[in-house]
Chains A and B, each alone.
Chain A
Amino acid sequence: MATETRTIRPLSPHIQIYRWQIPMLTSIITRITGNALAVSAVLVVWWLLALASGPDAYALANSVITSWFGDIVMVLSAWGLWYHYLAGLRHLYYDAGKGLDIPTAEKLGLAVIAGSVVLTVLTVIIV
């Protein structure tokens, strides 16, 4: 009774041998952007703290965030945010039990990628 029975269970597909596909790629990017946005949040709060601390601190934070490197980080943050935003909306749609068949899921994935690029360009133009 106390003997352990081990069954060989199928392992989930390993990414090195699994053919890349749109739903898989877009899901992984959702996770990466979501966690990377923590860096953006820290930068925004640093900027706010500097604004609260006075002109000198603000001048430093502002010059770092609006430098060429800061610009790259902010544009990447905007893209990450919009990507995560659209992918999150897609998740809510999935959670409603819709769009789960393969052709629709692939179209939605491409829409998320294209939409995030369009919204990032719009953000850069408007803001």
Chain B
Amino acid sequence: MRYLTDRKRAEGKGASRTGTEHHWSMQLSGVGLAFLVPTFIYIFGHALGSDAAAAQAMFARPFTAILTGLVLVVSMRHFARGAAMMIEDYWRGTARKMALIFVISLSWAVSAAGLFALAEIAL
């Protein structure tokens, strides 16, 4: 005889109830990045390889600093949720939780480090 009821066995195996919100946030950040990224590639590509003073002057400009800040934060949110999708497809249990914690922490660390650098350069 099984002591677990049907209801107990079914619990936690249904929909997460957050899928729509997750999908919408990926669309939202994706469209935002579609506008931001080409300009960023152009600016960053030109700054690469230039001397420190020129690169510093370029990233101290408000337009460049704001654009780079937006690209960093929006792309890291997009990455955290996209990587979470992959992790949830391939891992379960503790491994899944650890991988999710790692990816979300990494995304915040990269955002924070990038914003600190931008503030240091621009101010």
Known contacts A34-B79, A49-B113; A127 and B121 CB within 8 A of each other? no
Contact: A95 with B114, CB < 8 Å? no
Q: Which of B33, B44, B55 contacts A58 (CB 8 A)?
A: B55
Contact B9 A4 (CB under 8 A): yes
Q: How far is the CB of B1 from chain A (nearest CB, A)?
A: 7
A33 to chain B, nearest CB (A): 11
Q: Is the CB of A34 within 8 A of B82?
A: yes
Interface residue count on the A side (C-beta < 8 Å): 38
Once the chains are docked, how many angstroms separate the CA of A94 from the CA of B75? Answer: 21
* Residues B2 and A55 in contact, CB atoms below 8 Å apart: no
The secondary structure that dominates the B interface is helix
Interface residue A111 (Cβ < 8 Å from any Cβ of B): no
Contacts of A126 in B (CB 8 A): 42, 45
Count of chain B residues near A, Cβ 8 A: 40
Q: Does A89 touch B at the CB level, under 8 Å? A: yes
Nearest CB on B from A96, distance (A): 10
B62 proximal to A (CB < 8 A): no
Q: Does A41 have its Cβ within 8 Å of any Cβ on chain B?
A: yes
CB of B66, distance to nearest CB on chain A (Å): 14
Q: Which residue of A lies closest to B45 (CB)?
A: A127
A16 to B15, CA, bound (A): 29
Q: Determine if A35 is an interface residue (Cβ-Cβ < 8 Å).
A: yes
User: Is the CB–CB distance between A52 and B121 below 8 Å?
Assistant: yes
Are A88 and B48 within 8 A (Cβ)?
A: no
A92 and B116 form a contact (CB under 8 A): no
Whether the pair A85, B86 counts as a contact (CB closer than 8 A) is no
B79 contacts A88, C-beta separation under 8 Å: no
Q: Which of B1-57 contact A (CB under 8 A)?
A: 1-2, 4-6, 9, 27, 30-31, 33-34, 37, 41-42, 44-46, 48-49, 52, 55-56
Whether the pair A127, B110 counts as a contact (CB closer than 8 A) is no
Can you name 7 A-B pairs with beta carbons within 8 Å? A3-B2, A45-B110, A49-B116, A49-B117, A51-B56, A62-B52, A127-B42
B-to-A contact residues, CB < 8 Å? 1-2, 4-6, 9, 27, 30-31, 33-34, 37, 41-42, 44-46, 48-49, 52, 55-56, 59, 68, 72, 75-76, 79, 82-83, 86, 106, 110, 113-114, 116-118, 120-121
